[in-house]
Copies of this chain bind each other. A is one copy, B any other.
Amino acid sequence: MTYSKFEDDAAVVAFVRTHTDQFSDDDVLLVEEIGDGNINYIYRVKGEDSSVVVKQALPYIRIIGTDWPLSIDRIRIEAQVLQTEAMWAPKFVPKMYAFSAEESAFVMEDIGDHENLRFAFIERHPLPLLGEHLGRFLAETLFHTSDFYLDYESKKRAVANYINPGLCKITEDLFFWDPYCDHERNSINPLVRPAAEALWNDKPLKIAVTILKRQFMNCPEALIHGDLHAGSVFVRADSTKVIDPEFAFYGPMAFDIGSVIGNLLLDFAGQFGLPGSVQEKEDYQAFLLGEVVTCWTVFKTRFLALVTEKSDEPTMSDSDYANAFMVQLWHETVGFAGTEVIRRTIGLAHIADIDSIEDIELRAKSERWALALGREMILNRDVISSPEALNAVALALPY
């Protein structure tokens, strides 16, 4: 099968009309290309009263072209994951209306009334339910796709179904390799280069990161989102939606939870240098640390409740075991969160929370702070015993 981009707006409209009944026949539909779209094509199709979003994947990375091939299977995986997430956490994902392998595209709910969490962070929007929503999303999706819930055969078939080598490889490189050596893919503020070089010579850190890398590659404990940074989350004050699970595969739960916590702490680092009064910054930083606690606490409480209510696995459903599991999971979470903090600071893909700090000196201060925090999280992941202890580490770290 050869895959090609929708030829024109009419083709996008035809795709939506063929596969869904979201619009009446006499509705005039307008097509608009949206999204930052580095990898895929995303369209909004708008009728008089409603709209949908179409996402199409091609067998290469959009901004690079056919020189960087990427398996088309990722769109099948994304569509299936959105459906699985919708089964267990319907409030927190866009509805999936239709998927077609032939066009390697799907139609989903338009969540355009939400804003990207990255920019909500930068503009210090109040998000009183963020940690609660993400904790709940994580608990529902991770529990219901793990051995705590699935029978032995369904789980193993699911592991095989979600093998996603190309996308995993991107993470294996960008999280666990590039930032720890002088890699050409890295993007490093020249003022921060000495701090980066110190990491490249930090042998205990590099070994710890390789242990985490190996765990990323060898721990299919749940169907994880795999790319749960702030850019994959859309928010309103009363609603949270998680999108873009094309990196999903069976991996360590701690990677998803760590991505969320890492992004809260990355925005904390950015706040130091973003515009605003000291009071505004400190207030928002306090909010961010509060969400670290809330996210983990809601996750843990809900996950343990699900174990009690729904797990009939005879050994793992034991509450003492489940509690021991949570202790271990927290420590792993701290480690993975630390890798997210570091790779967003000196790796290929930065974040606007820090990159939008215009003064290069101020930006370097946030970046050095983030590197120091990430390093401490990775090396001391087995010592940092709770979200409160993690927050204390962040607060104690000199800016």
Give A164's nearest chain B residue, CB to CB.
B156
Min distance, Cβ A343 to any Cβ of chain B, angstroms: 14
Known: A153-B165, A157-B163, A163-B160. A177 touches B315 (CB 8 A): yes
Quick check: A156 and B176 within 8 Å, CB to CB? no
Task: Report A343-384 residues with CB < 8 Å from chain B CB.
Answer: none
Q: Which of B168, B180, B210, B213 is the one whose CB lies under 8 Å from A156?
A: B168
Known: A163-B159, A218-B220, A315-B206. A169 touches B147 (CB 8 A): no
Q: A160 vs B218: C-alpha distance in the bound complex, in angstroms?
A: 13
A13 proximity list for chain B (CB < 8 A) = none
Quick check: A210 and B321 within 8 Å, CB to CB? yes
Q: A165 vs B181: C-alpha distance in the bound complex, in angstroms?
A: 40
A211 proximity list for chain B (CB < 8 A) = 321, 324-325
Known: A147-B218, A217-B147, A220-B220. A321 touches B160 (CB 8 A): no
Give A323's nearest chain B residue, CB to CB.
B207
Quick check: B213 and A315 within 8 Å, CB to CB? yes
Q: Which of B159, B166, B219, B318 is the one whose CB lies under 8 Å from A207?
A: B318
Quick check: B159 and A214 within 8 Å, CB to CB? no
Give A172's nearest chain B residue, CB to CB.
B152
> Assembly of this chain: how many copies?
2
Known: A152-B169, A152-B172. A218 touches B217 (CB 8 A): no
Determine if A221 is an interface residue (Cβ-Cβ < 8 Å).
Answer: yes
Quick check: B159 and A159 within 8 Å, CB to CB? yes
Task: Report A170-222 residues with CB < 8 Å from chain B CB.
Answer: 172, 176-177, 180-181, 203, 206-207, 209-211, 213-214, 217-221
What count of chain A residues pass the 8 Å CB interface test?
40
Task: Report A206-242 residues with CB < 8 Å from chain B CB.
Answer: 206-207, 209-211, 213-214, 217-221
Tell me if A's interface is mostly helix, strand, loop or mixed: helix
Min distance, Cβ A146 to any Cβ of chain B, angstroms: 9
Quick check: A320 and B214 within 8 Å, CB to CB? no
Q: Which of B168, B219, B320 is the one whose CB lies under 8 Å from A203?
A: B320
Determine if A314 is an interface residue (Cβ-Cβ < 8 Å).
Answer: yes
A210 proximity list for chain B (CB < 8 A) = 315-316, 318, 321
Give A217's nearest chain B residue, CB to CB.
B147
Quick check: B165 and A157 within 8 Å, CB to CB? yes
Give A146's nearest chain B residue, CB to CB.
B218
Quick check: A159 and B156 within 8 Å, CB to CB? no
Min distance, Cβ A68 to any Cβ of chain B, angstroms: 15
Residue-by-residue, is A277-288 near B (CB-CB < 8 Å gives 1, otherwise 0)?
A: 000000000000
A168 proximity list for chain B (CB < 8 A) = 152, 156
A315 proximity list for chain B (CB < 8 A) = 176-177, 180, 206, 209-210, 213
Per CB-CB distance, the 10 closest pairs between chain A and chain B, nearest first, are A160-B160, A153-B165, A210-B315, A156-B165, A218-B221, A210-B321, A152-B169, A160-B163, A156-B163, A207-B321
Please list 14 pairs of residues, one from A and one from B, whose beta carbons are closer than 8 Å in the complex, sorted by A's number: A147-B214, A152-B168, A153-B165, A153-B169, A156-B164, A159-B159, A177-B314, A177-B315, A207-B324, A211-B324, A213-B315, A214-B221, A214-B316, A219-B219
